[in-house]
């Protein structure tokens, strides 16, 4: 019985198969163009690791109600906001994509809502890192912000931006 069932399914599949008609020159050119675009995108793909996010305030920044960070792109800013955090002081297990290798020109837009104020948006460079770790958003007085990737927490003495800083470091070139 199984043999006849398999034989019948095979015959059905063969009968449904249609020989492909030759492509017209315009269809072939279109397919070639699509393949070139796909190959170009694949060549530009950046390996990433998905990490958690956290934030911390420096000096008298007040309470941060919520914040979001766009995913990083080499030399430009993505339009997709990810990693929404409800406030500073906790970790967001958001699966935030961080390129495995830091490259000059990586920028992100940070959007945050300080206590009793309107939303603020600023674009900032991701400070250089040698190893992928958690993403930390550092808020400074005068609505300044910096983003670092670190394997040690924001309060750890080896963190790239010590908690004692009140003025943000300069942006990398």
Q: Give the model confidence (pLDDT) of 11-33 as tens digits.
A: 555 555 555 666 677 887 878 87
Residue 54 to residue 93: CA distance in whole angstroms: 9
Residue 19 domain flag: no
Residue 29 domain flag: no
**Number of structural domains in the chain:** 1
Residue 122 domain flag: yes
- Smallest Cα–Cα separation from 67: which of 59, 58, 57? 57
pLDDT tens for each residue of 130-139: 999 999 999 9
Maximum mean pLDDT: which of 4-8, 13-17, 73-77, 144-148: 144-148
Q: State the pLDDT at residue 50.
A: 87
Residue 84 domain flag: yes
- Smallest Cα–Cα separation from 80: which of 95, 62, 65, 92? 95
| Weakest mean pLDDT among 8-12, 40-44, 57-61, 146-150 | 8-12
Residue 26 domain flag: no
Residue 69 domain flag: yes
Whole-prediction pTM: 0.69
Residue 127 structural domain = 48-150
Surface-to-core class of residue 19, CB atoms within 10 Å of its CB (0-12 exposed, 13-18 middle, 19+ buried):
exposed
Residue 87 domain flag: yes
The stretch 159-169 carries a mean pLDDT of 92
């Amino acid at each position: 019985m199984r043999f006849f069932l398999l034989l019948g399914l095979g015959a059905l599949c063969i009968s449904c198969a249609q020989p492909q008609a030759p492509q017209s020159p315009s269809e072939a050119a279109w397919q070639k163009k699509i393949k070139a675009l796909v190959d170009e995108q694949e060549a530009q793909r950046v390996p990433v690791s998905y990490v958690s996010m956290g934030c911390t305030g420096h000096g008298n920044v007040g309470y941060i109600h919520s914040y979001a960070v766009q995913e990083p792109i080499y030399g430009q800013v993505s339009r997709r906001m990810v990693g929404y955090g409800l406030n500073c002081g906790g970790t967001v297990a958001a699966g935030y994509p961080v390129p495995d290798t830091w490259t000059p020109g990586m920028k992100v837009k940070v959007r945050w809502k300080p206590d009793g104020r309107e939303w603020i948006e600023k674009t900032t460079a991701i400070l250089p890192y040698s190893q992928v770790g958690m993403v930390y958003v550092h808020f400074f007085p005068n609505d300044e912000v910096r983003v670092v990737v670190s394997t040690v927490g924001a309060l750890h003495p080896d963190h790239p931006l010590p908690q004692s800083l009140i003025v943000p470091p300069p942006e990398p070139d």
